[in-house]
Structure 1
Amino acid sequence: MTPAALIATVGGVGYLRPAPGTWGSLAALPLAYGIHQVGGFPMLMVMTVLCIGFGIWATEQMTKGQANHDPSEIVIDEVAGQWLALWAISYPAWSHDIAISALWPGWIAAFVLFRLFDIVKPGPVGWADRKEGPVGVMMDDVIAGVFAAIGVAALAGFAHGVLGL
């Protein structure tokens, strides 16, 4: 496997069937946990940015000369988007010195909301998905991840502020 294929498929996770995008999002969870444990939110933030950059490169390498600019085995975009969704729990856990595992409802919400936005592709997510090339491949998931992070923060605000949980 080439370095580009290793990155783009997240070590081959993208070849799992059915639903390789969901497998990619699931693979992102323990990776994010490990990154957060080692370096907190700052490290997750840096790794997310690097993931986007390397994802664009790897996607470009894998799709060069192909008609399909977004093959299903490329799941590095799901990892980047899922990590962005997890920023909504990584930052508060890091800044308030809370074990990130204690925020388990946020993990579930981040996963479900990210997959929802990635599949339904509302507004800007769909716009980015229609863009040709590796940036388009990555950006729809980046935008879905941002939407999911906003949703997780809103749900946490409701749960803690309104419901008092």
Structure 2
Amino acid sequence: MKLASVIGTVLGVGYIRPAPGTWGSLVALPWAWALHVIGGFPLLVLAIVVGFFKGWWATATMTQDQDNHDPSEIVVDELIGQWIAILPLSYAAWSMEISILAMWPGWIAAFALFRLFDITKLGPVGWADRMDTPLGVMLDDVIAGVLAALGVLALAALYHGVL
């Protein structure tokens, strides 16, 4: 249970109040930057895949025999979702060999859009959340991250005159 708690709460970040989900999303940003700097887009993708499965296991372990399928201290789902929202920035920086920090407006958009979709539970995010399972806990943030990433792409296209 101890390892599950370390993973699920992202080293205890999930115990920070108020708004532990927002704290989980915030801590994801410097970690995404570090992963990108160390190994570029491929390492960030690998971290998302590995983190998803570790988060699913940690969530299942932490909520076993409990009525609450999604306790607020579990924030590994926010970490993964926020990393997904950052993927368009990582790919662009990696493929064009530019600093990912040069796209700082995209970081702000990725954070704001991810929190918007995660909090409001619009459309498929709400569907996943209503699964009431450890998989649903992870999936709602994965979907929120994908929607945020699409929003980042749309905003970048608008800014750069593509749309």
The TM-score with structure 2 as length reference comes to: 0.98
The one-character-per-residue Cα deviations of 1:121-152 (angstroms, maximum 9, x if unpaired) are: 11000000000211000000000000000000
| Match in the other structure for 2:68 | 68
| Match in the other structure for 2:88 | 88
| Match in the other structure for 1:102 | 102
Name the aligned partner's letter for residue 41 of structure 1: F
The one-character-per-residue Cα deviations of 1:30-65 (angstroms, maximum 9, x if unpaired) are: 000000000000000000011110000000000001
Distance 1:50 1:106 in 2: 24
Distance 1:117 1:123 in 2: 9
| Match in the other structure for 2:132 | 132
Distance 1:83 1:120 in 2: 19
Distance 2:162 2:138 in 1: 35
Name the aligned partner's letter for residue 148 of structure 2: A
Mind listing any 5+ residue stretches in structure 1 that lack a counterpart?
none
Mind listing any 5+ residue stretches in structure 2 that lack a counterpart?
none
RMSD of Structure 2 on Structure 1 (CA): 1.1
| Match in the other structure for 1:118 | 118
The one-character-per-residue Cα deviations of 1:77-113 (angstroms, maximum 9, x if unpaired) are: 0000000000010000000001000000000000000
Q: CA deviation at 1:162?
A: 5.3
Name the aligned partner's letter for residue 69 of structure 1: H
| Match in the other structure for 1:48 | 48
| Match in the other structure for 1:25 | 25
- Identity between Structure 1 and Structure 2 (%): 64
Name the aligned partner's letter for residue 99 of structure 1: S
